[in-house]
Amino acid sequence: MTKKKNNIFNRAVLAAMVAVTAHFAHAQNPAPAAPQTKPIVLTGATIHTGNGQVIENGVIAFDKGIITQVGPAGSGNTSGAEVIDVKGKHIFPGIISLNTTVGIQEIASVRATLDFNEIGEINPHIRSLVAYNTDSEVIPTLRGNGILLSQAVPQGGIVSGSSSVFYTDGWNWEDAVLKKDDGIWINWPSFLARSFNFEDFSVTMKRNEKRQEVIDKFSGVFADAKAYADLKDPSPINLRLAAMKPLFNGSANLYIRADYAKDIVESVKFAKAAGVQKIVIVGGDESYKVAAFLKENQIPVVLNPTHRLPGRVDENVYLPYELPGLLHKAGVKVAVTYADEWWRTRNLAFLAGTSSGFGNISSEEALQFITRNAAEIIGADKQIGTLEKGKHASFLVSQGDILDMRGNDVEMVFIKGGKVNLDDKQKRLYEKYKDKYGKK
């Protein structure tokens, strides 16, 4: 076996663990990475750039948090740089986890730790930005598996609020945020309604008779918001409508949660007619049925967890696994996510891996579902998503294939050039009990 996570800690952490009493100082997440102070060059790795390219025995150089060179062995300038030999390892762009509640949800059964669901129906002014807790114990488990960016998304209501995208390392939200208020999230009323029968515990699905009511509400609020956006000096000031202004000038996405084919078509047509510039479908269980429509309208899809069961009893057993590949092949830009299953998010790379294993696509294509495509969807592809000169030096070094449990063993993480401490509470508990049992 190759070197495993059980011995990947850097020496500083181990030293700290020995020095400090176990149950006191360890309750905290480790300190965020210090800013990059000098140029660094990594050599000898297989570099997966995220745009389909694989560079064997490659070189990646970065300075002041920005990539200065990605290329084959021997390329780039190493003078004055710290050169780290990572021969045989694999380098991937930082994984981007969209559509999550990480940072705004900690322990499901403890209400005090839940900050993702505001009351009220129309909440475009509600922002996850300010509630994002960089001290969440979930966050280090993400970066430990290579997830370097996380989008925190309000749930609930019919207009849930505004999301922001954060690095998974930082002292506070202001420090960690990459993209503020990147989009507004709405819950399109589902074409089908579930009803639970307490008599025989069955769930029946039938047409949702109340949906038009919700659509009418959307029509009202979007029309008002568009009109409001035209005002130079609105009075009275309306926080809700003001928050929607970026939807009409293309500076923020409209994320529409819609799963059924009819919902997707209808909601996209609605949003376009309402003057929304950038539309993203989220959920998208049946998006494969309307792939041509999505391609034609250039609507990307952010899928809910594809480690799920088929939606209907007669559906192809593997359809959820194949779904990202089906969309990709049809020319639709697709990202895979863990949605509100926040504590499972560390497995995001395996969703992509499964989509390759069970779909007709390569692992390099699948990698894009959690890197390049995600970056493009949130409009941050100038900074992140692929390993290219001029982008943020935010990437990871793994023992092997990051998409496979057999290779996903993250040894080093750089965020904007800073080397991130990969320790977390779970690893400390592991060490503590290894000590107890005298196993080293």
Partner 1 sequence: MIRRLSTVMAFLTVSVLSYGQETFPRNGAYDERSGRYAFTNANIVVDSKTTIQNGTLLIENGLIKEVNKQVKIPSGTVVIDLKGKYIYPSLIDLDSDYGMPDVKTERRAGGGRATPQLESNKKGAFGWNQAIQPENEAATLFTPDARKAEDLRKIGFGTVLSHSHDGIVRGSGALLTLTDESANKAIINGKASSHFSFSKGTSTQTYPSSGMGIVALLRQNYYDADWYGKSGKTQEKNLSLDAFNSLKGLPSIFETNDKYSVLRADKIGDEFGIQYIIRGGGDEYQRLDEIKATKAPLILPLQFPEAYDVADPWDADLVSITQLKHWELAPKNASEVAKASIPFAFTIAGIKNKGDFWKNLRTAIEYGLPKEKALEALTSVPASLIKAEGQVGSLKAGLLANFLITSTDLFSKDNIIYENWVQGKKFIVAPLNATDIRGTYALSINNQPTGKIQISGTVEKPEYKVILQDTVKITLKAVLTNELLTITYQPDKKRQENVRLTGWFTGKGLTGEGVLPNGNVVPWSASLSEKYTATAPKDSAAKKLAETGKIVYPFTGFGNEELPKAETVLIKNATVWTNEKEGILQGTDVLVQNGKIAKIGKSLSAPSGAKTVDGTGKHLTTGIIDEHSHIALFTINEGGQTSSAEVRMSDVINPDDVNIYRQLAGGVTTSHLLHGSANSIGGQSALIKLKWGANQSEMLIPQAKTIKFALGENVKQSNWGDVARVRFPQTRMGVEQVFYDHFIRAKEYAQNWKTFNAKKTGTAPRRDLELDALAEILASERFITCHSYVQSEINMLMSVADSLKFKINTFTHILEGYKLADKMQERGIGGSTFADWWAYKMEVKEAIPYNAALMYHEGVTVAINSDDAEMARRLNQEAAKTVTYGGVPEEDAWKMVTLNPAKLLRVDDKLGSVKAGKDADLVLWNANPLSVYARPEFTMIEGTVYFDRKKDEDKQKTMAVERERLIQKMLSDKAEGKPTQRPQGAQPRMWHCEDIVGVHAEHAEEK
Q: How far is the CB of 437 from partner 1 (least distance, A)?
A: 6
Q: Three-class SS of residue 421? A: coil
Chain positions contacting partner 1, by CB under 8 A: 1, 4-6, 106-110, 137-138, 192, 194, 196, 198, 201-207, 260-262, 289, 307-310, 312-314, 316-318, 340-344, 346-347, 350, 353-354, 356-358, 363, 403-406, 408-409, 426-427, 429-430, 433-434, 436-437, 439
Q: In this structure, what is the dihedral angle of CA atoms 294, 299, 305, 306, given to the nearest 10 degrees?
A: 30
Nearer to partner 1, 79 or 203 (CB): 203
Report the distance separating Cα 151 and Cα 369, nearest Å: 15
Q: Tell me how far, at minimum, the Cβ of 17 lies from partner 1, in Å.
A: 15
Q: What angle do CA 305, 311, 314 make, to 5 degrees?
A: 140
Under a CB-based contact definition with an 8 Å cutoff, are residues 162 and 126 in contact?
A: yes
| DSSP state letters, 177-222 | EEEEEEEEEEEPPPSEEEEEETTTTEEEEEE-TTHHHHHHHHHHHH
CA distance to 91, 345, 385, 405, per residue, from 400 (Å): 9, 20, 19, 9
Instruction: Compute how many other C-beta atoms are within 10 angstroms of the C-beta atom of residue 9.
Output: 18
Nearest approach, Cβ of residue 375 and partner 1 (Å): 23
- Tell me whether residue 43 or residue 208 sits nearer to partner 1 (CB atom): 208
Q: Least CB distance from residue 220 to partner 1, whole Å?
A: 28
In sequence order, the 6+-apart residues with CB closer than 8 A to the CB of 383 are 178, 375, 391, 392
Q: How far is the CB of 387 from partner 1 (least distance, A)?
A: 22
Burial of 164 (0-12, 13-18, 19+ CB in 10 A): buried
Dihedral of CA 419/399/150/62: which sign?
positive
Q: How far is the CB of 6 from partner 1 (least distance, A)?
A: 5
Residue closer to partner 1 by CB (options 15, 108) is 108
Rounded Cα distance between 66 and 391, Å, is 6
Q: Which is nearer to partner 1, 310 or 379 (CB)?
A: 310
Helix (H, G, I), strand (E, B) or coil at 322: helix
- What is d(CA 431, CA 419) in angstroms, rounded to the nearest whole number? 22
Q: Which is nearer to partner 1, 92 or 222 (CB)?
A: 92
Minimum CB distance to partner 1, residue 289 (Å)? 7
Q: How far is the CB of 40 from partner 1 (least distance, A)?
A: 26
The residue among 73 and 317 lying less far from partner 1, judged by its C-beta, is: 317
Nearer to partner 1, 5 or 180 (CB): 5
**Residue whose CB is less far from partner 1, 182 or 409:** 409
Residue 87 or 406 having the CB closest to partner 1: 406
Which run of H or of E encompasses 376? Answer: helix 372-378
Question: 430 phi and psi, to 5 degrees?
Answer: -60, -50
Q: How far is the CB of 156 from partner 1 (least distance, A)?
A: 13
